[in-house]
A and B are shown apart, each in its own frame.
Chain A
């Protein structure tokens, strides 16, 4: 049992490994471990009592009940455990498996935190393994492509500068048929809100920008979007282990907001981007907190509802269930606000998946796993049988809609629902708000 028995061919991993020598591996492993880690990794490695309690935590482990190599401690055992034991004296083929495991079989979702009495942070350990893989040049092709895009364009999807503003003006133009007074204000200095999105929105989910503009317009918000790079809040470099690029991206994002002297950044319904801006990137840059306040869409919608700034013409027909995205629930505690917003929008029951809220199961797409692309898709879907069971249980109770305020969760759940023919549809909160809100000008 173990990663060596389930290797999947990937061009990026294969090419990276082909350039490795044992000397290079040893040098880089030791450079990262002595140079970039400290007491945290040392304490985790030493005090993990190998009790196996975390086996119950992980969706990959629960979906492969007969294979202990999928448990959190089992994954660390096969990767960082070996590096620490051997001092990095491993062969290139080992690095292939280590990279595949770290990039595609752990979503860094931190559910195992709720299972470890000692408080070992498996996500941190696996992130450090990825950091080593990145420095070795062994990364899956698809996610590395998005990291390259980040370096070249400051956005994840190779969106060119003129395409970005074109997309915004196109959406503005379309929306003005429905809301004649609507604008997508570009580069408005001193605005209350700097609205930022992930690059897949202009690339292929452009209606989300339309919907956000409609909601902000109807709420009477003073908002803006930047015309220049920095607009993309996403961050695949955080997940490949390219922390230098992660730092550049976050600096550019924050500086773009600072340049416009906005009061705060409101982020769209994305989980990983929130993790990057709220929790990880700022620290890499040495900011304890954020130079510009940061708020996720779920909390922003909650505020608008509290202030009575979203008025509904109708309610969305339930029952619905809710997918709790790790990065805003375990990462920001938004589970209750998410339910309050949902209750405001939906007529009928919220049928909860169990477990839920901060004990939710991950979608198996986050943490950069879905971004590793088609070669790993089947393994990813098979690795979340447990989520399929959760969804099926709510479907049996009549749920047709899964409220899913995160792009990665959307991708992951879409594949699971399709594979298991569950016949459920996924909705962002903004889909529902847009569909149900009063549109007086229309």
Chain B
């Protein structure tokens, strides 16, 4: 078990972070090259001010028409993303790893708060899954890719929760948790999770078109 733990927190972690960071950079770079080559009539209208205007307006809950018309989904989406990003970054156990390996230390979330935030992520994943099964308009467009993305995100939080509460076999669970987290990182550039990399740009483009050309709101 110890050797396995060493491996997943050592070489495998380097690999996962490497794939995540280099993969994302490569995807961004190649997408930018493609855009320059093939989408000049769109690129010409990119504008910082209107990009930010659009991004900010969409980051305010219940501001955009789409958010207002889907209140449950709005709440789920916002709390899901907030907890999804903050929990792993500020979890005591994770900060301790940064400290242990690199001597980096920073503020942490109290364990019980992180526990609740983990449950929020798990709950939101179940809600998204429920929508995919129960709501006809979501079921109709759901593909294997969407289930894959949801599973990849759910796994590290579920295993992390079980490990923290020492349910089942802790030693096994913590290894599964680390691997699940690494799979998530490595999957970001190459699955639907790539919206983490690209969404700011698609949003910015729409904002630029609506702001600069159409003189209308895009939210």
Contact = CB atoms under 8 A, between A and B. Distances in A.
Interface of A: 1, 36-40, 42-44, 46-47, 49-57, 61, 66, 68-69, 71, 73-74, 77, 113-121, 279, 283-284, 286, 288, 329-333, 355, 358-359
B96 to A, nearest CB: 33
Contact of B210 (A50, A61, A113, A115): A113
Nearest to A330: B216
A329 to B, nearest CB: 7
Most buried by B among A36, A37, A283: A283
Contacts of A358: 216-217
A51 B31 contact: no
B139 A68 contact: yes
Contact of A53 (B70, B203, B214, B219): B70
Interface majority SS on A: helix, strand, loop or mixed?
A: helix
B216 A52 contact: no
Interface string B188-219: 00001011001101111111001001111111
A47 B217 contact: no
Contact of B143 (A50, A120, A286): A50
Given A68-B141, A74-B137, A117-B77, A40 B214 contact: no
Contacts of B135: 52
Given A47-B202, A53-B73, A38 B138 contact: no
A296 to B, nearest CB: 12
Interface residues of B, number: 54
Contact of A279 (B69, B142, B206, B214): B214
B70 A119 contact: no
A50 B143 CA distance: 8
Contacts of B198: 43, 46-47
Nearest to B192: A49
A101 B142 CA distance: 20
Contact of A119 (B39, B54, B194): B54
B85 interface: no
A116 B214 CA distance: 17
A52 B138 contact: yes
Most buried by B among A42, A113, A358: A113
A52 B215 contact: no
Nearest to A47: B195
B38 A37 contact: yes
A47 B219 contact: no
Contact of B202 (A56, A71, A120): A120
B34 interface: yes
B79 interface: no
B35 interface: yes
Contacts of A46: 192, 194-195, 198
Interface string B104-138: 00000000000000000000000000011001111
Given A46-B194, A283-B41, A288-B44, A53 B202 contact: no
B140 A69 contact: yes
A69 to B, nearest CB: 7
Given A74-B141, A117-B203, 11 more contacts: A40-B39, A43-B198, A46-B192, A47-B195, A114-B65, A114-B219, A119-B199, A119-B205, A284-B41, A330-B216, A332-B216
A117 B202 CA distance: 10
A39 B39 contact: yes
A71 B199 contact: no
B47 interface: no
Most buried by B among A42, A284, A355: A42
List 5 A-B pairs, minimum CB-CB distance, nearest first.
A38-B38, A115-B66, A333-B215, A39-B35, A119-B206
Contact of B140 (A56, A77, A116, A286): A77
Nearest to B59: A117
B165 interface: no
